[in-house]
Amino acid sequence: MNLETRVYATTQGCHDRDAAVALMRTLGQHIREIASRRPGLGWQVIAFANEEDIEDFDVPTEFTDRATGGRLPALNVNVTYDLDVAPAGDPELDAVLETFGLIRVATLPDDA
């Protein structure tokens, strides 16, 4: 497989655990709809309310911290494109991520 992963993060709207989880669910619904029409798109949205959440998901925070400065709660979004199926990028998805205040903090493998 030939993959490109884009990592996004934000603290916008993540005032507390409940707000971050609500944003995670809402954003997930939007991405799920887009993914149903977009072949080769994989995704994951995670709300981090505290350090234990980060440990539970075993996510390295080096990229997320670029947008959050280590502040929690925060949202972490990973979007993966299967380049053997379709080119990377999706304007509709980009617009949704921008609406939620997500900042692209890494593109992998380029930033690895």
CB 82 within 8 A of CB 1: yes
Number of domains, the chain: 1
**Each residue's pLDDT expressed in tens, for the chain with a length of 112 residues:** 899 999 999 999 999 999 999 999 999 999 999 999 999 999 999 999 998 888 888 888 888 899 999 999 999 999 999 999 999 999 999 999 999 999 999 999 976 4
Closest by alpha carbon to 106, among 54, 71, 59, 73?
59
> Which CATH number belongs to the domain containing residue 30 in this structure?
3.30.70
- For tokens 């400065």, the residue is 69
Q: How far is the C-alpha of 16 from the C-alpha of 108, rounded, in Å?
A: 29
pTM: 0.92
Which range of residues forms the domain containing residue 58? Answer: 3-108
